[in-house]
Structure 1
Amino acid sequence: MDNTIIIIIAAIVGLALGFVIAKMLEKGKASKIISGAKREAGTIIKEAQKEGENIKKDKILQAKEKFLELKAEHEKVIIGKDKKIAEAEKRTRDKESQISGELSKNKRLNDELQKQLKELDYKSEILGKKQAEVEKLHKSQVQQLEVISGLSAEDAKSQLLESLKDTAKTDAMAYLQTTLEEAKLTAQQEARKIVINTIQRIGTEEAVENCVSVFNLESDDVKGRIIGREGRNIRAIEAATGVEIIVDDTPEAIILSCFDSVRREVARLSLHRLVTDGRIHPARIEEIVKKTEKQINEEIVEIGKRTVIDLGIHGLHPELIKAVGRMKYRSSYGQNLLQHSREVAKLCGVMAAELGLNPKIAKRAGLLHDIGKVPNTEVEVETPHAILGMQWAEKFGEKKEVCNAIGAHHDEIEMTTLISPIVQVCDAISGARPGARRQVLDSYIQRLKDLEDVAFGFNGVQKAYAIQAGRELRVIVESEKVNDDKAAELSFEISQKIQTDMTYPGQVKVTVIRETRAVNVAK
């Protein structure tokens, strides 16, 4: 078809060319030109036919190649699908084989299980018969034993249980004693080293303060001026300061009495200014007291700042700094609270460094552990000072470790960090050292009596002595009633009783002494 179109196109072109040429030629030349055009048209037509044949052959060849290519791809796809189908069939055959093997195995196991169940039922039946025979025989033997011993089964069981309890208790006490000794051998040496090194590196002087201050006078004539007409001056001083002023026969001295050291200091400085100035009357007293209170408040802040700077503590809230300064005018069991807190802070820093903890946080907690004793309020607070101090620290943005150490140093709350036991130990080190604190004589004597009474509450105790200022309780027992194992048990029980029922500073060592004496007289 392509060849025909080419021939037609060539003929049309030839005719058009001939027509044009015929028009161009005139007369004689027209026939010559037409014959030349015909020849040329014939040549063109032959070339066109030849070229058409070539194009036809190329197209046919390309079609055959495309067909072969598509056929090869199709065969390749078919082969791949056949391969996958073969693999799937193989897997299916393998799984069928495996499943059949598992089924046969399960059937075999099921048969064995059924056989074992039958054997178990048979043995269970035999066991039930034998158990009935054993129970029958046991009852007859128990009856014979009751007849022979004269005791019922329950009585014999009770006696056996009591014997086993005593034996188990003795063994447990021996094991406990051994365990405690092993723990002491491994831990006591290192703990003693840390504590002793800490105490040796920190040494401060302790000042004992009372609830009274003595104000010395140049002469007894000043006493009358302080008292004033009909006692108006002394009443004005007491009303302005809240301090009781005692004027007695003591030469050249009057006594200022108040539990609050800050008030007592305000009264002392105010009296000093009034006596130095010489003008003593109610209006002047009120003026001087106000100025002195302002001066003391400024001094409290300055003392707090110096303290935190000396200890290297930064970022403390101004209210907490003020509370630290107020510690200078407070005492606990006769021990100055600021000196005690500074010492505890230094002890905590050293001990924390020895244990690989943060010494800065430990110092901070040690300094603030007793701030609950100096609340900036005149209202009586029933909350324990440790909890109150923790609430203050939380209010003014202290870290959780510091707050927990403040609240837990007297075991009011649970300890959650390692800083807390360090603060508790350092507080005990600072306060329990001989001479650091004082106790009222009556309460001290009563505590010693209570210690001895605890020991007398146990059987076999002959004598009990509280020695070393109540740090040790020596108990002498009767050797006939208490053996060596019982002595160790008694020591443990007494220590637990003291720990549970009594409140005391530091530790109480309980020593039980048992001795046997043989006495003969030579004549």
Structure 2
Amino acid sequence: MHLLLASVETWIAWAIVTLVILIGMVWIRKDQKRQIRRALHSTESSLKEHSRKEAEVLTRSARMLTREETKRLRDDLENTIGAESEEIRQREKRLEERESLLDRQLQTVLENESRLKQERADFEIFKDDLKKRESATKKLAEKYKDELSIKSKLSEDQAKEKFFDLIRDEHQIEASQIGKSILNEAKDNAEGDARRLIGIAIQRYAGEHTYESTTATVSLGGDEDIKGRIIGREGRNVRAFEAATGVTVLIDDTPNSVVLSAFDPVKREIARESMNRLVKDGRIHPTRIEEIVKKVSEENTYNMANLGEEAASKAGVISLNKEILGMLGKLRYRSSYSQNVLAHSVEVANLMGLLAGEMGLDIAKAKRIGLLHDIGKAMSQEVDGPHAIVGGDFIKRNGEPEDVVNGVSSHHGEVPYNYIWGILVSAADAISASRPGARSETMSTYLKRLSNLEKIGKSFEAVEKCYAVQAGREVRILVNPSKVTDEESYDLARKIARKIEDELQYPGHIRVTMVRENRFVEYAK
């Protein structure tokens, strides 16, 4: 029982404590709400006061900004109006100046128009007066002309012709002297270059100087049927031969012969030897032709080296490169106006040795340069440049020293003379080429040129006699002294020389010598 009461009291005590706690919590919660409401109310009041103050500040600021913006806009507007007003004043001023200028120009135009009208009237008066004077002058000229014709007994055309003849005679001497001076100056400047260029072209290119220099004739040994075998069925043999050798085969009605034509003398020699062997063998067909041509080409290469060695031995030159000896041998098939170039090179080498001996120079080197001076002529026609420079470059590549190279390259003046050898080679080359009988032409070509030279000389009216002398290298002309003066003789000689240049082809130069003389004979009795 007591335990039950104790337990009930305990529960009651706990209930009272719990109730007190709940009541305390409720009171605390209400107190907190009151504090929160007071805080909220205070905050609201402060916010309202702050908002009011801020609104007042903003209002004052807005009023100030409005007043400043209004003032700025007013100032801007006043400035704009002022600038536009100034521009309007400037435009008005320019318009006034322009109107003033137009007024002045209009006044000037009116004055010019008035002056032009006056000048036109004066000009009409002057023109009428000029016409009257011109008419009077023509009448006076006709009168004087008739009087002059009566006194001089010459017509108008005759008088003009006589007057022009007088003027021409007075000035012909002066014109002739001026022309002579100009021509001499032009010759001094151009003759050397022209001679060099023409010489290079003739020496480097195996052109059609004469028929004999570009052809080779092969004898058929009396067998006329061999021509048909050379031609072959539908011409296949002759086409195969031309393709293999690079020459042209000419077969005509000439008995017992076939002509081979080619500018390259080496190819022409190979073709000649190949044709001789084919004719002797009798078996002529494309395969056999190729075999023979190939064999002859190989032998010819070996033969050219032997020819080079033989030429070097004759000239007394030793220790030459094999390539140089082979190229030197090719000169055996080159010629210049029928003068064999290899023989010419040997001759120049010997002349160089003689000149060097007289001058106390190295004889062996002089002969070496003389032998090699024209080796460039053996080079292929596809190699560009003068033969002296081409030859110098070739021997330089094959180990020749600088002085030898310069002697070969400079013997025609294409490069400077760095050593004396180039000058000596030029002298020896000229001696060999100008030696009588060294160079020649066919008889028919020679006689035809002589005849043409005399014919050209006699085609001029004042020429009495004309003679071609010095193997066609000079024309001597005798003129009638009563038809030409000394000064006119110079012009006539120049005209004859120009006509020879235009109508004839010839090596070197042709000298035109004009002879004018008066002979007076009287006898003492």
Given the two structures, how large is their TM-score scaled by the length of structure 2?
0.53
| Aligned partner letter, 2:492 | L
Which runs of 5 or more residues in structure 1 are unaligned? Answer: 1-23, 216-225, 245-254, 275-279, 304-324, 350-359, 368-428
The residue correspondences of 1:112-191 to structure 2 (distance < 5 A) are: 112-165=115-168, 167=170, 171-185=174-188, 187=189, 191=193
Aligned to 2:291: 291
SS of alignment partner, residue 510 of structure 1 = strand
1:61–1:515 CA distance, 2 compared to 1 (3 A): same
Q: How many residues align?
A: 367
* Structure label with greater radius of gyration: 2
1:495–1:209 CA distance, 2 compared to 1 (3 A): closer
Aligned to 1:461: 463
- Contact 1:258–1:264 (8 Å) recurs in 2: no
| Aligned partner letter, 1:96 | E
Deviation string 1:155-210 (CA, Å, 9 cap, x unpaired) is 3233334444555555543332232234345x258759x949x99xx99xxxx979
Aligned to 1:515: 517
Matched, 1:55 2:62: no
- Contact 1:257–1:264 (8 Å) recurs in 2: no
SS of alignment partner, residue 469 of structure 1 = helix
SS of alignment partner, residue 461 of structure 2 = coil
1:47–1:288 CA distance, 2 compared to 1 (3 A): closer
Deviates more, 1:160-169 or 1:480-489: 160-169
- Contact 1:334–1:437 (8 Å) recurs in 2: yes
Matched, 1:88 2:113: no
- Contact 1:455–1:475 (8 Å) recurs in 2: yes
Q: CA offset at residue 145 of structure 1?
A: 1.9
Q: CA offset at residue 509 of structure 1?
A: 3.0
Q: CA offset at residue 134 of structure 1?
A: 0.9
Supply the distance in 1 between the matched residues of 2:161 and 2:130 (Cα, whole angstroms): 31
Supply the distance in 2 between the matched residues of 1:59 and 1:111 (Cα, whole angstroms): 77
Alpha-carbon RMSD across the aligned residues, in angstroms, is 5.5
| Aligned partner letter, 2:96 | R
Matched, 1:77 2:80: yes
Supply the distance in 1 between the matched residues of 2:462 and 2:65 (Cα, whole angstroms): 124
Identity across matched positions, percent: 24
Supply the distance in 1 between the matched residues of 2:494 and 2:342 (Cα, whole angstroms): 38
Supply the distance in 2 between the matched residues of 1:501 and 1:66 (Cα, whole angstroms): 107
| Aligned partner letter, 1:152 | S
Match of 1:64 among 64, 67, 74: 67
Given the two structures, how large is their TM-score scaled by the length of structure 1?
0.53
Supply the distance in 2 between the matched residues of 1:104 and 1:288 (Cα, whole angstroms): 110
- Contact 1:270–1:288 (8 Å) recurs in 2: no
Supply the distance in 2 between the matched residues of 1:269 and 1:514 (Cα, whole angstroms): 60
Supply the distance in 2 between the matched residues of 1:33 and 1:346 (Cα, whole angstroms): 127
Matched, 1:268 2:273: yes
| Aligned partner letter, 1:268 | E
Aligned to 1:313: none
- Contact 2:467–2:477 (8 Å) recurs in 1: yes
Match of 2:500 among 483, 498, 501: 498
SS of alignment partner, residue 468 of structure 2 = strand
1:268–1:37 CA distance, 2 compared to 1 (3 A): closer
Aligned to 2:398: none
- Contact 1:211–1:257 (8 Å) recurs in 2: no
Q: CA offset at residue 128 of structure 1?
A: 0.9
- Contact 1:473–1:511 (8 Å) recurs in 2: yes
1:256–1:326 CA distance, 2 compared to 1 (3 A): farther
1:463–1:46 CA distance, 2 compared to 1 (3 A): closer
SS of alignment partner, residue 473 of structure 1 = strand
Supply the distance in 2 between the matched residues of 1:289 and 1:43 (Cα, whole angstroms): 133
1:174–1:258 CA distance, 2 compared to 1 (3 A): same
SS of alignment partner, residue 471 of structure 2 = coil
Q: CA offset at residue 522 of structure 1?
A: 5.6
SS of alignment partner, residue 144 of structure 1 = helix
Deviation string 1:435-474 (CA, Å, 9 cap, x unpaired) is 7754221221121122112222223323222233323322
Supply the distance in 2 between the matched residues of 1:40 and 1:270 (Cα, whole angstroms): 138
1:243–1:92 CA distance, 2 compared to 1 (3 A): closer
1:345–1:136 CA distance, 2 compared to 1 (3 A): farther
- Contact 1:213–1:256 (8 Å) recurs in 2: yes
Supply the distance in 1 between the matched residues of 2:439 and 2:172 (Cα, whole angstroms): 41
- Contact 1:25–1:33 (8 Å) recurs in 2: no
